[in-house]
Amino acid sequence: MRSFVLEVWGELACFTRPEFKVERFSYPLITPSAARGIFDAIYLDFDPQSKKSLMYWQISRIEVLCPVRYISLMRNEVKEKATLRNIQAWMRDPSHLEPLYADATKDDTGQDTKGRTQRQTMALKNVRYRLRAHAVLYREDHALRQKIEHSFERRARAGQCLYQPYLGCREFTGYFRLVEPGEEARPVDYTEKIGWMLYDVFDLSRPGAPLRTDRGEKPRISLFEAEVVAGVLLVPPYESERVQKGVN
Amino acid sequence: MLAQLVDYARLKGLGTEPGFTSKEIRWLVGVSPAGQWTELIPLDQAKTAPDLSQPDMMSLPGYLRAQGHTVEQAAHFLADTCAVVFGLPERDAAGNIRRPEEHAKNLQKHAAFRLLIQLAANDVPLLEPIAQALSDPQQVQAFLQKLEAQAQKRGPERLKSTDKISFFVNGRCVLDCPDWHDWWRQFRAHAFPRSGAQGQMPSFASGELVTPASTHPKVTRLGGSAFGHALVTYDKEAFESYGLSQGENAAVDELAATAYRAGLDALLEKAQTLGEMKVVVWYDREIPEEDDFFRDLFAPSSGEAEELQALERAHRVLQALKTGQAPPEIRNSRFFAAAMSPASGRVMVRDWQIGRLEDFVEAVTTWFEHLAIVRRSGDQSASLPGLNRLFLSLQRPKSPEQKLDDYLKPVKTLQVPLWRAALNPRLPIPYAAIAKIMESHTAEVMTGAFSEALQAQKPDAATLGRIYARMGLLKAYHIRKGESMSTALDPQHPSPAYHCGRLMCLLAQIQEAASESEINAGVVQRYYGAASSTPALVLGRLTRLSQHHLAKMAKDAPGLAYWFNTQLAQVWSALGSNLPRTLSLEEQSLFALGYYQQLAQSRKKETPQTQAPTTPSLFQE
């Protein structure tokens, strides 16, 4: 089993604390789920029949390479979401379209629950991390592992990705490069007990499929007690008892 | 933050049971055992009272109607406003009822309030006299007149319809008696059954599997709105994730939600203000009051019976922490710092920092060291500015007619960076703060207000404090950029800009000392702005002019002329042969510091050992 190290960086990042989401406030460093998302963006293998993933990326180590710096932004956000039901109705009958006015004010919509709202974001500025991860296969298979590891290495080295990685929010673009063996990291002198941090939103213990929230499916939130020591956050494996998982 | 607030509430033994809160009760109404109103007692005290959250309030009329009662509006239990408990209307100067629709609604709430008391009185004998008195319209009307009379009074005795009122029975306030607690718990459990994923989600406050509270109680001490503000809220669909509803998005059980609210309210009660933010600092264990530097950060020399200066005190505590003299539990303690402000019924968290107590004390020490600046008499350091005063010093003083919001608008974005810089010695002072200071400082110097404040026999403390704060912050800015800056004059300073400022100060003093009559507009008023941005263009010319002043001075006061010449020679020697053609804003701030520190040095009273026979002290304080 091989581990891969990615160096990721970006001008802005916001790894939103779920408890302070309405006026966004970021964790001081990337969460394991956001880090997993960056690996997923480069390569993730799926079963062609069931369309379910055959693996997940287990983040094992996060190194903070730039000092933690916050920046306060005010952004326009929307209050409502495009629902699956509305979109299906529109597909059936395009003449009955109820659009989502992203830039509407209360004067336009006549109500408080629609349109746009201005909210604060406490984002991070100039972030740079080294993320170490390895592939966990739901059914161990030597050939598949070889394929996954080889494909990931090739794609990451060439800077290829399925979609542009992002740093917490889609609008905060993340850049990456594969760290070759022997390259040294210099984490910043940052030690902190962060406390309960989001580990992941989805159940990593079984092959994932898109969540059907319209059928009442709920995510499985997991948390862990994060402690950064000398710029390094060691992430326990998902199966670990140190990761508190919700009940499905 | 939630976990730390819950721990704080438990450490302080704050009321953390759901359905209970602390309310400011302004009045008590006495009730005799026979159910008669007796007297009106002023109170003004926070008491433990029944609590209804916003969703509870919304569902209360529906529940009561389902029980067969006629209810239009919801009301609180045992303690509510005078407008609700007695139907006291708010009146204008002419005695007419203000907002009649509001009054009509309050009368409906009065009916709900009476009903709740009546229901409770069936099980709680203590409340029977109250229910009896409330059910007698004549009695209520008679007492209402008493309240109306009290509302006509002026000053602190005046009763407002929004004042909260409760009852005084058997020689005690009913809120102090636990008799009603069980009834209230049962009533809440029936009226507001909790729903949600039962014990299925890990709590963000404790990590344990809990049933998430769908909505959380509001923080009431943040100011801005009497209805309070929610810290954890998902008020719009777009802020919910993956089909999770309301509080499920960040699971916290009801007990922990009540606890964090109690903790935060207690902290906000003694919060400090920075611009429009409230900031709080707390610890994970009890810290002796003398080791808590949070208040010092905002008012460094206003400690109660404080003999030591804040900086000395911080040094002493830091030493004790580093050498192990402080008790082990203090050495290992951690601090938590939060800055927040209200935003449309929500708490907007502006900053959240955690760390070791030692780091906090070290940050405070370094902050004060960086801000320390020589006072105008040049002999010792000026008193240190509190953080809010420092923030307000960035710009010109607020005019009385200006609204605080409008006044703070240009510097609002600097609140958090300054707060962070105070708590972390490695962070820079924001450049924008320096730009703001330079703008107001240059204007003040050129109008003469700066010199006037420094030379006045009885200076205005606020003006002087503002000058010290600004100079201190300029100094801190350069220190944090890695430059060397001393509290008082530094003849060896490497920057020519600094020495240009010194030169400007000397030239102004020469002009002043040589002139027999008062000068209308001296070189400072005329040339400070130009000299601080284009020194080569201005200072060379002014130096040439100063030779005439010195020549004149040499006839009447040769010693003084000699001393000035020596000083000029020192500055020119530090400057070298070339005057800078232009100065950037940062260099202009060094110019300002050089100017100020030279001025303070000139006013310094020399000690007998160091006093040269020909050295005058130009201005005596």
Q: What is the pLDDT of residues B3-38, one digit of tens each?
A: 999 999 988 888 778 888 888 899 999 999 888 988
* CA B211 – CA B194 distance, rounded (Å): 9
ipTM surpasses cut 0.95: no
Is position B103 within any domain?
Answer: yes
Min distance B39 CA to chain A CA atoms (Å): 45
Interface test with B, best of A15, A17, A21, A23 (most B CBs within 10 A): A23
The token pair that represents B508 in the structure block: 């102004």
Counting residues of chain B whose pLDDT is more than 70, the rounded percentage is 94
Return the pLDDT at B4: 94
Q: How many domains does chain A have?
A: 2
Q: What's chain B's Rg over C-alpha atoms?
A: 32
The token pair that represents A92 in the structure block: 């059936």
Q: Answer yes or no: do A148 and A186 share one domain.
A: yes
Residue A124 has pLDDT above 50, yes or no: yes
Return the pLDDT at A177: 96
Q: Answer yes or no: do A26 and A97 share one domain.
A: no
Containing domain of residue B207, as a range?
196-269
Alpha helices, DSSP H, located in B153-245: 181-191
Min distance A185 CA to chain B CA atoms (Å): 22
Beta bridge partners of A116: A78
What number is the average pLDDT over the span B269-289?
Answer: 89
Q: Is A77 helix (H, G, I), strand (E, B) or coil?
A: strand
Containing domain of residue A102, as a range?
80-114
Return the pLDDT at B352: 92
> What is the residue type of B242?
Y
Min distance B266 CA to chain A CA atoms (Å): 20
Of B244, B346, B351, the CB nearest to A218: B244
Q: Answer yes or no: do B303 and B416 share one domain.
A: yes
- A22 φ/ψ angles, rounded to the nearest 5 degrees: -70, -45
Cβ of A221 within 8 Å of Cβ of B205? The answer is no
Q: Answer yes or no: do A191 and A96 share one domain.
A: no
Q: Answer yes or no: do A128 and A203 share one domain.
A: yes
Counting residues of chain B whose pLDDT is more than 90, the rounded percentage is 36
Asked if A25 has any chain B CB less than 8 Å from its own CB, the reply is: yes
Q: Answer yes or no: do A100 and A215 share one domain.
A: no
Return the pLDDT at A131: 97
Tokens 């009913």 appear where? Answer: B174
Cβ of B233 within 8 Å of Cβ of A120? The answer is no
- Closest chain A CA to residue B412: A72
Asked if A246 has any chain B CB less than 8 Å from its own CB, the reply is: yes
Contact B233, B346 (CB under 8 A): yes
Q: Chain B partners of A81 at a C-beta cutoff of 8 Å?
A: 237-238
Of B207, B242, B348, the CB nearest to A244: B207
Q: Answer yes or no: do A132 and A224 share one domain.
A: yes
Is position B51 within any domain?
Answer: yes
Q: How many domains does chain B have?
A: 4
Q: Answer yes or no: do B436 and B578 share one domain.
A: no
Min distance B262 CA to chain A CA atoms (Å): 17
In sign, the C-alpha dihedral spanning B31, B32, B35, B40 is: negative
Residue B615 has pLDDT above 50, yes or no: no
Min distance B354 CA to chain A CA atoms (Å): 8
Return the pLDDT at B45: 83
Cβ of B416 within 8 Å of Cβ of A72? The answer is yes
Of B233, B251, B349, the CB nearest to A221: B251
Asked if A242 has any chain B CB less than 8 Å from its own CB, the reply is: no
Return the pLDDT at A211: 81
Q: Answer yes or no: do B88 and B26 share one domain.
A: yes
Angle at A225 between CA A221 and CA A230, to 5 degrees: 135
Of A122, A211, A225, the CB nearest to B242: A211
Tokens 């438990």 appear where? Answer: B10
Return the pLDDT at B203: 93
CATH number for the domain harbouring residue A185: 3.30.70.2660
Is position B254 within any domain?
Answer: yes
Which residue would you say has higher pLDDT here, A148 or B556? A148
Q: Answer yes or no: do B520 and B555 share one domain.
A: yes
Contact B595, B505 (CB under 8 A): yes
Q: Is B621 helix (H, G, I), strand (E, B) or coil?
A: coil
Cβ of A120 within 8 Å of Cβ of B238? The answer is no
Is position B1 within any domain?
Answer: no
Return the pLDDT at B610: 45
Contact A173, A167 (CB under 8 A): yes
Q: Answer yes or no: do A139 and A215 share one domain.
A: yes
Which residue would you say has higher pLDDT here, B617 or B108? B108
Per-residue confidence band for A18, with pLDDT thresholds at 50, 70 and 90: very high
Beta bridge partners of A233: A62, A228
pLDDT tens digits, one per residue of B63-85: 999 989 888 999 999 999 999 99
Q: Answer yes or no: do B264 and B178 share one domain.
A: no
Is position B347 within any domain?
Answer: no
Residues 6+ apart with CB under 8 A from A236: A224, A242, A243
Q: Answer yes or no: do A103 and A154 share one domain.
A: no
* CA B144 – CA B139 distance, rounded (Å): 8
Mean pLDDT (chain A) is 91
- Of A119-133, B102-116, B193-207, the one with minimum mean pLDDT is B193-207
**CA atoms within 13 A of residue B616's CA, in its CB half-sphere:** 15
Is position B282 within any domain?
Answer: no
Is position B126 within any domain?
Answer: yes
Question: How many beta-carbon contacts under 8 Å exist across A and B?
Answer: 118
* CA A130 – CA A133 distance, rounded (Å): 10
Residues 6+ apart with CB under 8 A from A243: A199, A222, A223, A224, A236, A237
Contact B412, B341 (CB under 8 A): no
Contact B514, B550 (CB under 8 A): yes
Q: Answer yes or no: do B96 and B212 share one domain.
A: no
Cβ of A196 within 8 Å of Cβ of B207? The answer is yes
Contact B68, B76 (CB under 8 A): no
* CA B473 – CA B468 distance, rounded (Å): 8
**CA atoms within 13 A of residue B197's CA, in its CB half-sphere:** 26
Q: Answer yes or no: do B182 and B222 share one domain.
A: no
Contact B9, B22 (CB under 8 A): no
Beta bridge partners of A78: A116
Residues 6+ apart with CB under 8 A from B106: B81, B83, B84, B87, B89
Give A 66-125 residues with CB within 8 A of chain B.
67, 69-70, 72, 77-81, 113, 117, 120, 122
Residue B611 has pLDDT above 50, yes or no: no
* CA A222 – CA A200 distance, rounded (Å): 5
